Structure 1
């Protein structure tokens, strides 16, 4: 018979895998929801509204639960603000902006490179020379990305699209990697408290941009856009980020980063089913070295990212 420790370990693993699956599915679906909502709601306003909805949900959730209360010390809020900048305000805006011109499959593939940046930043922070395996993994990934970006840009040269949205998504991926490092360094705490505090910090980072350049009071969204925005705020932001923070603390950022492998194929299937998008065969071939390099990087990521 299994001992108590083995049973507890199995239960912990099951919870981790369930959280990983939930995070992957919700984030895969978020790209579709963004594509729908951004047709009526501009990027900064979309990201801000998403955070406002999520903050409201999390504050009510926190009030009704016994998870504790928001901290009052300045040090904690400084840490939350750092996570908010790199994990919410910056990437959410970049993804929403890129969605104006990019299909869902390209968005998912490029943001899925987050673990590559995580490994790169880890070695830069420690000032240590990476191993040959790490160099191989990073090189394969970034060479694949360079070719992918070149092909994507050339294939759409007849349109007004440039490489800027593609680079914006890489910026979002790098930003997520920095955020994961900050989350992993949090000492203790509750995932619900962390999620609530981070969402609150992110709102003032984007609200001025929305008010100054997008005049949100003049926007009249369709019912479809409002529905997509509500799903984004509640499911793909409030619930999924609490689950993600819980996953990081439960299994470490290395295991949590595995959701990046599951999001692209899930997004491709969802976009094909609901948006009629198809992935070009050339892009599928170019995606192989990128995903392979992410798997190589995954084995080399430390729990102390």
Structure 2
């Protein structure tokens, strides 16, 4: 009997790592897609378009599946609205806005501070200081990320560039940490129902901003931009967020947030390959400690964060 339980646990652990890998790869690629789309589509409209495309995809997916209908009680929709604000509307807009001036590699690195915010919010909620082991697991990744940023070939532009986009990316990281805690507390429905309801809630949070200030009806996107928007909406928003919600429920928000340690090195590789951004030997060497922090944190961070 003990062996059977161990086998089930191993399968769950393997599934968690596979889902983590899928989320990391697609979200690393999403930074490149945002960079492409923002050339023709302003940030609020870009984020709104992602949500609209994702909502359509998820509604069709929900209709064709046996996941069940969307909930009718106001309590569930209030929780979905909180997830929509902190997990979609706010961070998607902030990241799109910052992408107009911040390179892909820096974007990924700054948003990767989400686990640190997760620990901070857990401490504030429980009014207790995280254990030394927990802090060590998070610090290992953060030190690697800090070194990543300091050794980046684009970091020298900080002195002449406004700090506002960088602060916006840190704010997006904090939003993601808050969203993950709310998702972890959801007891009703499944990942597909949650994803669909959240997308529906997030659209009206950004649509007025787009209509009032960006006049989307005047935009004439190129074929490349349209393709980037479709990939952002279908894969990087609809499919991947459903996978992410499944990952949170399977392994907890702390482990799920560790994808932020994988996204930076993946983003730097992709941005070097497709956008011509710098990739040096120091950045490659620092990928090892960042990826290793995933394993450290999985064993050390409580899933109740």
**TM-score normalized by structure 1?**
0.88
The residue that corresponds to 1:155 in the other structure is 156
Give the distance between the partners of 1:105 and 1:297, measured in 2 at CA. Answer: 23
Unpaired runs of 5+ residues, structure 1, are none
Q: Is structure 2 residue 86 aligned with structure 1 residue 86?
A: yes
Give the distance between the partners of 2:9 and 2:293, measured in 1 at CA. Answer: 30
Counterpart mapping for 1:201-216 below 5 A: 201-216=201-216
The residue that corresponds to 2:171 in the other structure is 171
The answer to whether the 8 Å contact 1:118/1:301 transfers is: no
User: Which digits, 9 at most, give the CA deviation of each residue in 1:41-82, with x for residues without a partner?
Assistant: 000000000000000000000000000010000000000000
Give the distance between the partners of 2:304 and 2:134, measured in 1 at CA. Answer: 17
The residue that corresponds to 1:261 in the other structure is 261
Counterpart mapping for 1:91-110 below 5 A: 91-110=91-110
Give the distance between the partners of 1:143 and 1:34, measured in 2 at CA. Answer: 25
**Secondary structure of the structure 2 residue equivalent to 1:30:** helix
User: CA distance change for structure 1 residues 66 and 290 in 2, over 3 Å: closer, same or farther?
Assistant: closer
Deviation at 1:120, TM superposition (A): 0.9
Deviation at 1:9, TM superposition (A): 2.9
Unpaired runs of 5+ residues, structure 2, are none
User: CA distance change for structure 1 residues 42 and 247 in 2, over 3 Å: closer, same or farther?
Assistant: same
Deviation at 1:299, TM superposition (A): 5.3
Q: Is structure 2 residue 78 aligned with structure 1 residue 66?
A: no
User: Which digits, 9 at most, give the CA deviation of each residue in 1:2-56, with x for residues without a partner?
Assistant: 9543443333233222211111110010000000000000000000000000000
The answer to whether the 8 Å contact 1:144/1:289 transfers is: no
Deviation at 1:153, TM superposition (A): 9.1
Give the distance between the partners of 1:59 and 1:147, measured in 2 at CA. Answer: 40
**Secondary structure of the structure 1 residue equivalent to 2:30:** helix
Q: Is structure 2 residue 31 aligned with structure 1 residue 31?
A: yes
The answer to whether the 8 Å contact 1:248/1:256 transfers is: yes
Q: Is structure 2 residue 93 aligned with structure 1 residue 124?
A: no
RMSD across aligned positions (CA): 3.1
The residue that corresponds to 1:43 in the other structure is 43
Give the distance between the partners of 1:286 and 1:164, measured in 2 at CA. Answer: 27
**Secondary structure of the structure 2 residue equivalent to 1:156:** helix
